Amino acid sequence: MSHVIECQKISKRFGGNQVLKDFDLTVDAGESVAILGPNGTGKSTLIRILASVMRQSEGKVLINGSEMKDEAFALRSQIGLLSHTGYLYTSLSAEENLKFYAEMYSLKDPEKRIAELLEKVGLRTRRFDRVATFSRGMSQRLGLARALLHSPKILLLDEPETGLDQEGLDLLWSIIKTDDPDRTVVFTSHNFKSTVQACSRLIILKKGKIVYDAPKGDLTEDGLQALYHDVTGGKS
Amino acid sequence: MKTFWKAAFAIAKKDILLELRSKEIISSVLLFAVLTLVIFHFAFTADHETMTQIAPGMLWVAFSFSGILSLNRAFIPEKEDNCMEGLLSCPVGREAIYMGKCLGSFIFMLIVEAVVIPVCAMLFNVDVFNPMIIFITLLATIGFVSVGIIFSALSVNTRAREMVLPILFLPIIVPIIICAVSSSSAILAGGTFEDIKQFLLIIVAFDVIFFTVPLMIFKYVVEE
């Protein structure tokens, strides 16, 4: 059986700067994979390559056995992406933003899905308000609604906790888990607490290479912190 | 193909909605274009025949520089909150994004032209409402916007984008402007379709090249 996500020897260079080198990774259905690592180690680059918003310099990315390069169109509709920004147009209202992205994803019944998601992220009463008037937490929740709009089977999150307090972060993760418990989630983070709560598998990167990859098991927040410092030789 | 056009129209519709909210582009561009013609009006006091010769040039000075102002801001909404990445993650071709941005900018340019042409006719007393001149303007605007959008996408992430865009864009677009001005002058001087056929062919050739090449290379511009 093929993996949901499979990276085969992917490399990425920015000019002379090698960010990822011969990077291999497989993720199976339903896994919640946390990717940790110091800044500049290639976490965001990896997420962007998996989401096909950036092309790798070398190697292959396969989603459900199909190569991203050949079937990017179809595969993108299986992927939801959220980074520390929500990819939202601040002059448009919450509903207008979701309607625009619903058109981009060619959703069949967008009104129903938009109403459902706005309810879920607690923004139904603010649906006609411009995103510019939203707090950071509200924008991020709307960004999550945008990422979940097309009910993707794979959710990629790049440091979604940036700027959120613990309450906002807990809400974000509860929405992700309740929307589709079987969804495959790959996320990068610097937050040990939410990582321990949300992941089933832990990967630590250092200089574009995997230096730790294991199921989370019964690892605690303190245990993860100690492990991280031990593996990376520094602080997050 | 249906998805392509649906996505392109959605992007153009979104750009128009954003502009209706902010009025950032239209207000500044219209003010600039009209002001340019008003300054020319006070600078030149010539007879009708001379005005007929120079009016198309003045018109295209107003179109070109106001168009650059507009193109400079074409990708600003995508830059805010990193929306370009959001667009790139959608299951649509990069070509559809390019087409959508072109459609949006083309509509902005049409609005500017719809205001500037009557102002030009009024200030210089020349018949720029001639259907042939409007046809030439539309044809030249297609090439102008097609090539402008790719350079706008290139320059949006540079620090001095207001300078980078005209430096890259103007030398490329000069043939279209020259042909548009020359053919419009010929029509105002009483020329026929046969007289301007060669200019129109050049504009059409540039339109085809300037539309096809950016369409093919847009993905390389936005993905890196």
Asked whether the predicted pLDDT for residue B167 surpasses 70, the reply is yes
The DSSP 8-state label assigned to residue B92 in this structure reads: S
Chain position carrying tokens 């520089």: B65
Range of the domain at B123: 2-223
pLDDT band at A236 (very low <50, low <70, confident <90, very high): very low
Contact of A180 with A14, CB cutoff 8 Å: no
Q: What is the pLDDT of residue A1?
A: 57
CB of B87 less than 8 A from some CB of A:
yes
Query: How many CB pairs below 8 A link A and B?
Result: 78
Domain chopping of chain A, boundaries: 1-44+53-78+154-167+189-236
Asked whether the predicted pLDDT for residue B2 surpasses 80, the reply is no
β-pairing, A17-27 vs A5-14, is antiparallel
Q: What is the pLDDT of residue A85?
A: 87
The model's pLDDT over B97-155, given as tens digits with 9 standing for 90+, comes to 999 999 999 999 999 999 999 999 999 888 888 899 999 999 999 999 999 999 999 99
Q: What is the ipTM of this complex?
A: 0.89
Contact of A155 with A173, CB cutoff 8 Å: no
Quote the CA–CA distance of B215 and B222 in Å, as a whole number. Answer: 12
CA distances for A40 relative to A43, A155, A233, angstroms: 8, 22, 15
Quote the CA–CA distance of B115 and B33 in Å, as a whole number. Answer: 9
pLDDT band at A234 (very low <50, low <70, confident <90, very high): low
Contact A106 B14 (CB under 8 A): no
Task: Give the residue, B92 or A176, on which the prediction is more confident.
Answer: B92
Quote the CA–CA distance of A140 and A168 in Å, as a whole number. Answer: 9
Token output for A59: 């190697």
Q: What is the pLDDT averaged over residues A54-68?
A: 92
Q: What is the pLDDT of residue A119?
A: 92
For residue B14, the chain A residues in CB contact (below 8 A) are 89, 92, 100
Q: What is the mean pLDDT of chain A?
A: 89
Give the residue from B216, B24, B51, B41 showing the smallest Cα distance to B128: B51
Contact B10 A53 (CB under 8 A): no
Contact B91 A104 (CB under 8 A): yes
Quote the CA–CA distance of B55 and A113 in Å, as a whole number. Answer: 54
Contact A90 B10 (CB under 8 A): no
For residue A83, the chain B residues in CB contact (below 8 A) are 82, 85
Asked whether the predicted pLDDT for residue A135 surpasses 80, the reply is yes
Contact of A130 with A157, CB cutoff 8 Å: no
Q: Residue A83 is nearest to which of B80, B82, B224, comparing CB atoms?
A: B82
Token output for B155: 């320059």
Q: Where are the alpha helices (DSSP H) in chain B?
A: 2-22, 24-43, 48-72, 76-79, 83-88, 94-124, 131-155, 161-188, 193-223
In terms of phi and psi (left: phi > 0; alpha: psi -120 to 50; beta: otherwise), the region of B190 is left
Q: Going edge to edge, which strands form the sheet with A66-67?
A: A17-27, A5-14, A58-63, A66-67
pLDDT band at A175 (very low <50, low <70, confident <90, very high): confident
Q: What is the pLDDT averaged over residues B76-102?
A: 92
Asked whether the predicted pLDDT for residue A187 surpasses 80, the reply is yes
Give the residue from B67, B84, B76 showing the smallest Cα distance to B19: B76
Instruction: State how far residue B86 is from chain A, nearest Cα, in angstroms.
Output: 5
Asked whether the predicted pLDDT for residue B20 surpasses 80, the reply is yes
Give the residue from A155, A148, A88, A145 showing the smallest Cα distance to A119: A145
Which residues 15-34 of B are in CB contact (within 8 Å) with A?
Answer: 17-18, 21-22
Angle between helix A166-179 and helix A136-148 axes, rounded to 10 deg:
10
Asked whether the predicted pLDDT for residue A62 surpasses 80, the reply is yes
The model's pLDDT over A109-130, given as tens digits with 9 standing for 90+, comes to 899 999 999 998 889 999 999 9
The string of DSSP codes covering A52-104 is: TSS--SEEEEEETTEETTT-HHHHHTTEEEE-SS----TTSBHHHHHHHHHHH
Angle at B96 between CA B69 and CA B147, to 5 degrees: 35
For residue B223, the chain A residues in CB contact (below 8 A) are 53-55
Q: What is the pLDDT of residue B105?
A: 94
pLDDT band at B224 (very low <50, low <70, confident <90, very high): low
Give the residue from A1, A3, A145, A152 showing the smallest Cα distance to A87: A145
Write the CB contacts of B213 (distance below 8 Å, at least 6 apart in sequence).
none
Number of domains in chain B: 1
Token output for B188: 């105002």
Instruction: State how far residue B101 is from chain A, nearest Cα, in angstroms.
Output: 14
Q: What is the pLDDT averaged over residues A77-83?
A: 93
User: Is it true that domain A1-44+53-78+154-167+189-236 has CATH number 3.40.50.300?
Assistant: yes
Q: What is the mean pLDDT of chain B?
A: 91
Write the CB contacts of B45 (distance below 8 Å, at least 6 apart in sequence).
none
- Compute how many other C-beta atoms are within 10 angstroms of the C-beta atom of residue B211: 20
Asked whether the predicted pLDDT for residue B46 surpasses 80, the reply is no
Token output for A216: 């989370």
For chain A, strand residue ranges (E) read: 5-14, 17-27, 32-36, 58-63, 66-67, 79-82, 154-158, 184-188, 201-206, 209-215
